[in-house]
Amino acid sequence: MDNLTHTLTAVALSQAGLNRKTRFAALALIVGSNLPDVDIVTRLAGSATYLKYHRGLTHSVLGVVVLSALLAGTIYCLGRAAPPPKKRHTPPLDGRWLLAICLIALASHVLMDLTNTYGVRILSPFSGRWYAWDVLYIIDPVLLALLMAGLGLPAIFRLVSEEVGASKPGFRGGAIFSLCCLVLLCGLREFAHRRVLGMLESHTYGGENPRRVGAFPTSADPFAWTGVAETDSSFRVLPANARDDDVDAERARVLHEPDPSPVLDAAMKARTAVIFANFARFLWPQVEETEDGYEVTLRDLRFYAPDDERRGFVARIYLDKSLRVRSESFSFLGESRAK
């Protein structure tokens, strides 16, 4: 998920009651809910290197435990040296609660990242396997709107109450509302996801049974999905909607898999290709001959939309006529260069 969603979730957890357990609870929740993304420093080495390490060790069970202990220890040491709080009802600094809250914050980050299509390597470094629930979009505007409403409306009500002289409402109800909406949205998406997967599995595509299928969320509509079906000879990418009775397999975009070749074999040995193949779940390669050699394009169809030709999550390997790698690149969103 994006860092704004992580931060708003941390604020909701704080206002729901965790800020009453120990001093600096809100600080620990906000920092901890974003701390796993410290792996962004690997972006300095290029997009492909970032893809290799992102959502790995810092998003694992081991990473959650280690980072939580480091964060709790740092805040505790600095907190003991801090001046006394100005507010009368501020709870005292409690090391055990502080550690527990740091664990909650980091675990919430990993669990929320687990809900989307990108996934996490939760067992790193012992296993490089990716896990993904595929129910929320990476930046989900519906979830953002619900979190903002639950946290923002109480603030507006407080301003109005102050102006008219009435008692100020608290933030706890809105925070609990936000967290309940998060859970309910995931449940709704899971129901729609299972329904769409069932529809995709019930079809044949070009006379072939699907070897595997996937359904990936779109940004705004919780019932709209992008379906992917892999057969022995091709991929089929098609829109799907859980409100419909079935998918229209005839609307599927057919993406043929290339035949095995020395060109493709050489390209798949390139560093960027190895990293991307380890990440991709529905890997679709394309081979094109150029004047100087060959261009091999690798796409992960989880991030491919049949209607808008999104170009994100694309790796390109350029070979000369002797099948030596001339250059390689990877792009999350555009044509950024990887090292």
In the DSSP assignment, the letter for residue 134 is: -
The 10 Å Cβ neighbour count of residue 170 is 12
pLDDT digits (tens, 9 = 90+) for 52-109: 999 999 999 999 999 999 999 999 999 999 998 888 789 999 999 999 999 999 999 9
User: So what's the pLDDT on residue 306?
Assistant: 66
Positions of the chain with pLDDT under 70 = 157-158, 160-169, 306-311, 334-339
User: So what's the pLDDT on residue 337?
Assistant: 39
CA 257 to chain centroid, in Å, comes to 27
User: So what's the pLDDT on residue 18?
Assistant: 96
Enter the tokens of residue 325. Answer: 């790698």
User: So what's the pLDDT on residue 171?
Assistant: 84
User: So what's the pLDDT on residue 89?
Assistant: 84
Enter the tokens of residue 330. Answer: 């990877």
Q: Where are the domains of the chain?
A: 3-133, 197-255, 259-331
User: So what's the pLDDT on residue 334?
Assistant: 52
User: How would you classify the pairing of strands 224-230 and 293-300?
Assistant: unpaired
For residues 265 and 203, give the distance between their C-alpha atoms in angstroms, rounded to a whole number. 32
Q: What are phi and psi of 96, to 5 degrees?
A: -70, -45
User: So what's the pLDDT on residue 254?
Assistant: 95
Residue with tokens 């209607």: 307
Enter the tokens of residue 207. Answer: 């006379």
User: So what's the pLDDT on residue 336?
Assistant: 40
Torsion of CA 89, 94, 97, 98, to 10 degrees: 100
Q: What is the DSSP string of 62-101?
A: HHHHHHHHHHHHHHHHHHHTSPPPSSTTPPPP-HHHHHHH
Torsion of CA 87, 93, 94, 97, to 10 degrees: 60
For residues 167 and 139, give the distance between their C-alpha atoms in angstroms, rounded to a whole number. 37
User: So what's the pLDDT on residue 156?
Assistant: 79
Enter the tokens of residue 99. Answer: 């550690």
**pTM of the entire predicted model:** 0.91
Contact between 270 and 328 under an 8 Å Cβ cutoff? The reply is yes
Contact between 229 and 213 under an 8 Å Cβ cutoff? The reply is yes
Q: What are phi and psi of 295, to 5 degrees?
A: -120, 120
User: So what's the pLDDT on residue 153?
Assistant: 86
Contact between 134 and 126 under an 8 Å Cβ cutoff? The reply is no
- Domain 259-331, CATH number (from 3.30.505, 2.60.40, 3.30.530, 3.40.50): 3.30.505
Enter the tokens of residue 165. Answer: 């002289």
Residue with tokens 């809100």: 26
pLDDT digits (tens, 9 = 90+) for 169-192: 678 999 999 999 999 999 999 999
Q: Which of 121, 122, 107, 114 is nearest to 138 (CA)?
A: 114
